[in-house]
Structure 1
Amino acid sequence: MSTGEEPALRNKRTGLIFFPAFDWAISPTHPEREERLLYTRDQIFEEGVLDLPSIIEYAPRLVTTHDIARVHFCVPRVQSQVTEAHLIAAGSATLLGDSIFNGEIKNGFALVRPPGHHAMRVVHGNRGFCNINNEAILVEYLRRRHGIRRVAIVDSDVHHGDGTQDIFYHDPDVLFISFHQDGRTIYPGTGFTTELGGPGAYARTLNIPLPPGLGDETFHYVVDNLVLPVVKDFQPEFIINSAGQDNHFTDPLGSMRFTARGYAEFTRKLNPHLAVLEGGYAIETALPYVNLAILLALAGQDYSYVREPENWPSQFQDSPERVARVQRMVEQLLSVWETRDQVDLEKIFGAGTFYQRRKQIYYDTDYIEEEQQEKVRLCPSCPGYITIDSRADRGYGRPLRVFCVSVPFSACAACQGEAYEAYEQAKEKMSHFAYVYMQDKSTDTCLAFEREKGQEWVSEGPKAGE
């Protein structure tokens, strides 16, 4: 390629980062292991995809601990919950995000592990194979670094993206849509149509729990009649696909029947700025084909020849009764979205100074039971600050109790002042809490106070842009 052609081609390229995390595994035979990406790598090389001028591969980079603390309350510290592999997986997403905003590429695919969409705002350990949330870290990084505000995240994993939902449940500027296998039949048992966001972000969360056994046709009915119209109406500045691939018909953990070409067609329609790999555990029969098809779709290349060896179209016939059920659900959710500004929120969330909810969270990997009391300030000027009283029980000794305060990116001065008062008051009640945390996104400040040592620290590492 000549030098004169580079500027014209550059903004049409698709960026790719491949990081299989050889040094991170839950166990040698666990479904979430490095082989998930090795067969994909072989397939991409075999097809000569990296020789296409429309695709450029990047080397990964690390995020800082501050980038993580901007999103998560990691107990007791960020370093306690992450390895270098986690820093690289999240860093790969932010690197591609930078490259998009710098005009180097038009879109990107972070083919990385460990995954992250089950990691919630408070992190006591690993749940659903996730410690930190790659997409959430990306969103807050882009807000701080590039000044964007409105983001849409569409989660196509077979499991509900409960962590991403938790982090942005009260954020009116993040639209989170998750279509997944019905939570009554699969982990984590959440993601129902009644989960619609908090009082300041009503209908910014939309969940489509699909009956097991559905295939591409119904999948695309949901995409065409709900996902695409809502995303278009929301007018996001940046679109992220949490690209879970365990909806595939050969996946051992799911019971759906999507195909590689179905995923590629979805990618073409959604046209995300960035796809970030999440689940998908059919190492040989799905991932090489699905990843290849998604990459080709992002790059605007022909993916019609990509087909799995076991893919016989005649075997994928959706049940009419289940299709009708999905169609009714789509109509209901579309109505919720279209009438979101006409709803009497006090009837749903109640009146008063704070909205409160209790949450029971189970860490299936680390066997931790957590109980949270979440309070959100009902503010007419901003989304309101959040406090979380969290107790984590590991089954031995006293439960670990921590107190967390989060100030939103667009906080008003009054909420910021009240939030710091809550932080200081909790520090004075340290007999109750082992750790007290402050996460002020409006000033990009993250603090923590430890009872035993009487010591306060600031999150380590440079802030975005430094």
Structure 2
Amino acid sequence: MQIKAKNNLGLIFFPAFDWSISPTHPEREERLLYTKDQVLEEGLLDIEGIKEYNPLVATEDDVNRTHICIPDAKSIISKPHLISAGGAIKAAELVMQKEVDKAFAIIRPPGHHAFRVVHGARGFCTINNEAIMVEYLRNKYDSDLKIAFVDTDAHHADGTQNIYYNDPNILHISIHQDGRTLFPGTGFTDELGGPGAWGRTINLPLPTNTTDQGLHYALDNLILPILDDFDPDLIINAAGQDNHYSDPLTRMNITAQGYAELNDKLDPDLAILQGGYSIESALPYINTGIMLAMAGLDYSYIQEPDYDPTVKEQPAKITDTIKQRTNKLITSWQKRDKIDLQDEFPIKNINGEDYHINHRNIFYDTSQLREEQEIKIKICDDCSGVMIIDSQVRPHSMGETRSIILPFDVCNECRQLGYDKYEASKQDFSAVYLQDKVGDKLLTNL
């Protein structure tokens, strides 16, 4: 009897044969080849309602809509990066055009460590595939789309958080191994969003050796209630798989069944592959489980060859820590619209304009660069505010650069301010960029 998927599922595979950091690096093309073999062996593409599609090729405009690449996109990205981002865009288009119910982009290079301003590669990521996809959708369909990210990678999704930290229409949830024990060392419960979107960023750092039990406690008691409350138009699972018990880079104990059940409960519209470096022992089984769950099919038989039931046992101390952090985050979410911005964000008046200012030091572990940023966000009652990022990178700095970002909800006054700042800054910085979301353009004086 022909099996039929409950949900029509689109799959996009892009293994990027011609891109790797090195032939033996964990982030290499074999990551996806074993998964493709498993999909063919299981006969998933023979199931009615599951279909494979080719990726698109993203354009430089798609990249510039999301990132400010310094000195420019051509100098930073390669063709595989554009195809990987295009794979995410293709997945989203399939869903938006109602050609499928859900889509899973199984792509590389990954993207969730790529910040808004890009000087090179960090955390194996250069450009942010899922953010490029979201900005494409908001530009083409509706800038008011409410979108929720649930990032399940073991590493904190610091790049996606950076891009959407002050965006009120984007909910970004990251559950990850505690940053005190793993790159990038961020993603703590007090990172809750900028002055224009406080509470729309949720970080749950999980203790090392968290099992399916802890993951699903967080899902049932934190993530799903917040999603119900936020009521997004789209749910995206940034589907990192390096929480698996066999992953060589992390110290977590999630199983393929745990991942599949997560996607069953989460019911995402889109899944975009992130990390996961147990190439033979984990990824083929996790990805197959995710596909079956998204298609609404039975995934109960999916099991790793070395599976041992004891891997699901979790010490009470880990459970208690997750409960405490979950309770803290639920409280923060419930008071998100009731806080006094003055209490949460120190404000400095500059020439009659109020700004929240913070500083960030960013390490590009892949490119071995160090960046210093000063970020100013204008406090505005009518929009989320102009953002100004002054950046300098070493060792091969081109001098201090300034990036001015006008958000989708920018008011007329802040929009004019942004253009005035762009013109006035040209004499003081080696390069000035203006990213205008409403006008869909990136200006630079280079």
Q: Under a length normalisation based on structure 1, what TM-score does the superposition of the two structures give? A: 0.92
- Is 1:17–1:59's contact at 8 Å kept on the other side of the alignment? yes
Query: Offset of 1:240 from its aligned partner?
Result: 0.7
1:212-361 correspondence to structure 2 within 5 Å: 212-351=208-347, 352=349, 353-361=354-362
- Is 2:151–2:238's contact at 8 Å kept on the other side of the alignment? yes
1:31 match: 26
Distance 1:269 1:277 in 2: 18
Distance 1:183 1:104 in 2: 39
**SS of corresponding position for 1:183:** coil
Distance 1:306 1:74 in 2: 41
**SS of corresponding position for 2:426:** helix
Query: Offset of 1:12 from its aligned partner?
Result: 3.7
1:81-230 correspondence to structure 2 within 5 Å: 81-147=76-142, 148-230=144-226
**SS of corresponding position for 1:40:** helix
The C-alpha deviation readout for 1:267-313, integer Å capped at 9, x for no partner, is 01111111000000000000000000001111111110000011111
Distance 1:435 1:16 in 2: 40
2:408 match: 409
Distance 1:312 1:18 in 2: 30
Give the AA of the match of 2:278. A
1:422 match: 421
1:40 match: 35
**SS of corresponding position for 1:400:** coil
1:460 match: none
Give the AA of the match of 1:361. I
Query: Offset of 1:11 from its aligned partner?
Result: 9.9
Distance 1:211 1:101 in 2: 37
**SS of corresponding position for 2:337:** helix
Query: Offset of 1:10 from its aligned partner?
Result: 11
Query: Offset of 1:341 from its aligned partner?
Result: 1.6
- Is 2:403–2:432's contact at 8 Å kept on the other side of the alignment? yes
Distance 2:155 2:328 in 1: 21
2:432 pairs with 1:436: yes
**SS of corresponding position for 1:67:** helix
- Is 2:5–2:47's contact at 8 Å kept on the other side of the alignment? no
Distance 2:317 2:257 in 1: 25
**SS of corresponding position for 2:372:** strand
Give the AA of the match of 1:382. C
Query: Offset of 1:427 from its aligned partner?
Result: 1.2
356-365 or 143-152, which deviates more: 143-152
Give the AA of the match of 2:65. R
1:373 match: 374
**SS of corresponding position for 1:389:** strand
2:69 pairs with 1:74: yes
Distance 1:74 1:311 in 2: 43
Give the AA of the match of 1:126. A
Distance 1:28 1:300 in 2: 37
Give the AA of the match of 2:427. E
Identical-residue share of aligned pairs (%): 49
Query: Offset of 1:399 from its aligned partner?
Result: 5.7
Distance 1:21 1:442 in 2: 33
The C-alpha deviation readout for 1:211-268, integer Å capped at 9, x for no partner, is 0001001100000000000011001111111100000000000100001110011001
2:17 match: 22
- Is 1:375–1:386's contact at 8 Å kept on the other side of the alignment? yes
Give the AA of the match of 1:71. T
Distance 1:227 1:10 in 2: 26
Distance 2:325 2:52 in 1: 40
Query: Offset of 1:101 from its aligned partner?
Result: 1.2
The C-alpha deviation readout for 1:111-141, integer Å capped at 9, x for no partner, is 0000000000000000000000011111111
Distance 1:238 1:199 in 2: 24
- Is 1:11–1:105's contact at 8 Å kept on the other side of the alignment? no
5+ residue gaps, structure 2 = none
- Is 1:192–1:208's contact at 8 Å kept on the other side of the alignment? yes
The C-alpha deviation readout for 1:357-396, integer Å capped at 9, x for no partner, is 00000000111000000001111001111110000002x5
- Is 1:82–1:131's contact at 8 Å kept on the other side of the alignment? yes
- Is 1:10–1:104's contact at 8 Å kept on the other side of the alignment? no
Aligned residues: 438
Distance 1:23 1:315 in 2: 36
Distance 2:93 2:413 in 1: 33
Query: Offset of 1:210 from its aligned partner?
Result: 0.5
Distance 1:138 1:101 in 2: 12
- Is 1:153–1:177's contact at 8 Å kept on the other side of the alignment? yes
**TM superposition outliers: structure 1 runs of 4+ over 6 Å:** none
Distance 1:399 1:195 in 2: 31
Query: Offset of 1:428 from its aligned partner?
Result: 2.8
Distance 2:358 2:314 in 1: 38
Give the AA of the match of 2:153. D
2:404 pairs with 1:393: no
Give the AA of the match of 1:274. L
Aligned match of 2:50 in 52, 55, 67? 55
